[in-house]
Amino acid sequence: MRCSYTSFVPIIFLALCGCLVSCNKESRVDWAIRNKILLLGNGSEPKALDPHLVSSVGDSNILRSLFEGLVTYHPTDDSQNAPGVAERWESNEDYTVWTFYFRDNAKWSNGDPVTPRDFVYAYRRILSPDMLSPYASMLYFLKNGKQFNEGTLTDFSQVGVKALDDRTLECTLEQPTAFFPQVVKHTTWYPVHPATIEAFGKNDDGLDPMTMQFTLWQRPGNHVGNGAFKLKSWVINKSVVVEPNPNYWDADQVKLKEIRFYPIPSEFSEERAYRDGQVHYTYTMPPNMIDWYRKNDPKHLRLDPYLGVYYYKFNLNKPPLDNPKLRKALALAIDRQKIVENVTLGGQEPAYALSPPIKGLYQPPKIVEYDPDKARQLMAEAGYPNGEGLPRLELLFNTQDTHRAIAETIQDMWKKELGVTNIGLLNQEWKVYQSTLHEMKYEIARHAWIGDYVDPTTFLDMFRTGDSNNETGWSSPEYDQLLKDAALAPTAEARVQILQEAEKILLTELPIIPLYWYTRTTLVHPAMQHWEPLLLDNHPYKYVDLIAN
Amino acid sequence: MDTTIDHIEKGSSLGRDAWLRLKKNKLAMVSLVVFIFIALLCFIGPFFGVQDPTTTHLDAKSQPPNKDFLLGSEHLGRDILSRILYGGQVSLIVGFIATFVSLVIGVSYGAIAGYVGGKVDAVMMRIVDVLYALPFMLIVIILTALFSDSLADVEILQSLKEKSKVFEPDLLLLFFAIGFVEWLTMARIVRSQIITLKKQEFVEAAVSLGLSHPRIIFRHLIPNTLGSIIVYTTLTVPAVMRLEAVLSFLGLGVKPPNSSWGSLIKEGADRMYSDPWLLVFPALFFSVTIFSLNFLGDGLRDALDPKTSKD
Q: Do B255 and A426 touch (CB under 8 A)?
A: yes
Q: Do B274 and A289 touch (CB under 8 A)?
A: yes
Amino acid at A398: N
User: Which chain A residues are Cβ-neighbours of B58 within 8 angstroms?
Assistant: 338, 341-343, 409
Going by the DSSP 8-state scheme, the letter that residue B175 receives in this structure is: H
Query: In terms of Cα–Cα distance, which of A287, A342, A316, A321 is closest to A423?
Result: A321
CA distance A479 to A467: 13
CA distance A353 to A309: 9
CATH of the domain at B186: 1.10.3720.10
Percent composition of chain A: helix, strand, coil (DSSP 3-state, to 5): 40, 20, 40
Q: For residues A409 and A425, is the Cβ–Cβ distance under 8 A?
A: no
Q: Which of A286, A338, A341 sits opposite B270 (nearest CB)?
A: A286
Mutate to test the interface with A, among B56, B249, B252 (most CBs of A within 10 A): B56
Residues A540, A400, single domain; the answer is no
Q: Does A297 touch chain B (CB under 8 A)?
A: no
Q: Do B251 and A342 touch (CB under 8 A)?
A: no
Q: Nearest C-alpha of chain A: how many angstroms from B65?
A: 17
CA distance A503 to A508: 9
Beta-carbon contacts of residue A91 (< 8 Å; ≥ 6 apart):
A97, A98, A99, A180
Residues A119, A213, single domain; the answer is yes
Residues A257, A325, single domain; the answer is no
Residue of B nearest to A345 (CA): B75
Q: Do B256 and A292 touch (CB under 8 A)?
A: no
Q: Does A338 touch chain B (CB under 8 A)?
A: yes
Residues A439, A531, single domain; the answer is no
Q: Is residue B11 part of a domain?
A: no
Q: For residues A446 and A395, is the Cβ–Cβ distance under 8 A?
A: yes
CATH of the domain at A88: 3.40.190.10
Residues A244, A311, single domain; the answer is no
Q: Which of B59, B75, B251 sits opposite A428 (nearest CB)?
A: B251
Residues A363, A245, single domain; the answer is no
Q: Do A412 and B56 touch (CB under 8 A)?
A: yes
Residues A258, A180, single domain; the answer is yes
Boundaries of domain holding A22? 11-267+524-546
Boundaries of domain holding B297? 25-45+73-305
User: Which chain B residues are Cβ-neighbours of A292 within 8 angstroms?
Assistant: 273-274
Q: For residues A60 and A47, is the Cβ–Cβ distance under 8 A?
A: no
Q: Is residue A2 part of a domain?
A: no
Residues A125, A190, single domain; the answer is yes
Residues A240, A372, single domain; the answer is no
Q: Which of B76, B250, B251 sits opposite A408 (nearest CB)?
A: B76
Would you write out chain A's pLDDT as a tens digit for each of its 549 residues? Answer: 444 444 444 445 555 555 444 555 789 999 999 999 999 999 888 888 999 998 888 999 999 999 999 999 999 988 889 999 999 999 999 899 999 999 999 999 999 999 999 999 999 999 999 998 888 889 999 999 999 999 999 999 999 999 999 999 999 999 999 999 999 999 999 999 999 999 999 888 888 899 888 889 999 999 999 999 999 999 998 999 999 999 999 999 999 999 999 999 888 999 999 999 999 999 988 988 998 899 998 999 999 989 999 999 999 999 889 999 999 999 999 999 999 999 998 889 999 999 999 988 899 998 888 999 999 999 999 999 988 889 989 999 988 888 999 999 999 999 999 999 889 888 887 778 888 898 899 999 999 999 999 999 999 999 998 887 888 999 999 999 999 999 888 888 999 999 999 999 999 999 999 999 999 999 999 999 999 999 999 999 999 999 987
Q: Which of A338, A426, A427 sits opposite B58 (nearest CB)?
A: A338
Q: What is the largest CA-CA distance in chain B?
A: 80
Q: Do A287 and B75 touch (CB under 8 A)?
A: yes
CA distance A139 to A484: 16
Beta-carbon contacts of residue B21 (< 8 Å; ≥ 6 apart):
B302, B303, B308
Query: In terms of Cα–Cα distance, which of A86, A155, A142 is closest to A116?
Result: A86
Q: Is residue A273 part of a domain?
A: no
Total H helices, total E strands in chain B? 13, 0
CA distance B259 to B271: 16
Q: Do B251 and A409 touch (CB under 8 A)?
A: no
Q: Do B77 and A289 touch (CB under 8 A)?
A: no
Q: For residues A52 and A126, is the Cβ–Cβ distance under 8 A?
A: yes
Residues A498, A397, single domain; the answer is yes
Q: Do A404 and B255 touch (CB under 8 A)?
A: no
Amino acid at A230: K
Amino acid at A312: Y
DSSP string, A320-389: TTT-HHHHHHHHHT--HHHHIIIII-S-PEEPSSSSPPBTTTB---------HHHHHHHHHHTT-GGGTT
Phi, psi of A516 (to 5 degrees): -150, 160
Q: Do A343 and B58 touch (CB under 8 A)?
A: yes
Residue of B nearest to A409 (CA): B56
Q: Nearest C-alpha of chain B: how many angstroms from A144?
A: 43
Going by the DSSP 8-state scheme, the letter that residue A191 receives in this structure is: -
Q: Do A409 and B55 touch (CB under 8 A)?
A: no
Q: Is residue A388 part of a domain?
A: yes
Residues A34, A136, single domain; the answer is yes
Instruction: For residue range B155-212, list pLDDT tens digits in order.
Output: 665 666 555 555 566 677 777 778 878 888 899 999 999 999 888 888 888 888 888 8
Q: Nearest C-alpha of chain A: how many angstroms from B102?
A: 28
Q: For residues A30 and A279, is the Cβ–Cβ distance under 8 A?
A: no
Residue of B nearest to A425 (CA): B256
This model of the complex carries an ipTM of 0.76
Return residues 164-183 of A near B (CB < 8 Å).
Answer: none
DSSP string, A491-533: SHHHHHHHHHHHHHHHHHH-SEEEEEEEEEEEEB-TTEES---
Q: Does A400 touch chain B (CB under 8 A)?
A: no
Q: Which of A275, A289, A409 sits opposite B58 (nearest CB)?
A: A409
Q: For residues B224 and B197, is the Cβ–Cβ distance under 8 A?
A: yes
CA distance A7 to A149: 77
Q: Is residue B50 part of a domain?
A: no
Instruction: For residue range B68-103, list pLDDT tens digits in order.
Output: 888 888 888 888 898 999 888 888 888 888 899 889
Total H helices, total E strands in chain A? 17, 18
Q: Is residue B6 part of a domain?
A: no
Query: In terms of Cα–Cα distance, which of A376, A368, A374 is closest to A417?
Result: A376
Residues A367, A453, single domain; the answer is yes
For β-strands A545-546 and A444-450, DSSP reports them as unpaired
Dihedral of the alpha carbons of A265, A271, A275, A277, in degrees to the nearest 10: 30
The pTM assigned to this predicted structure is 0.83
CATH of the domain at A463: 3.10.105.10
Q: For residues A298 and A79, is the Cβ–Cβ distance under 8 A?
A: no
Q: Is residue A278 part of a domain?
A: no
Q: Is residue B167 part of a domain?
A: yes
Q: For residues B90 and B293, is the Cβ–Cβ distance under 8 A?
A: no
Residue of A nearest to B52 (CA): A412
At A424 the three-state DSSP class reads: strand
Q: Nearest C-alpha of chain B: how many angstroms from A368?
A: 22
Q: Which of B56, B251, B275 sits opposite A399 (nearest CB)?
A: B251
Residue of B nearest to A336 (CA): B58
For β-strands A258-262 and A349-350, DSSP reports them as unpaired
Beta-carbon contacts of residue A421 (< 8 Å; ≥ 6 apart):
A387, A415
Q: Do A409 and B56 touch (CB under 8 A)?
A: yes
Q: Nearest C-alpha of chain A: how many angstroms from B7?
A: 49
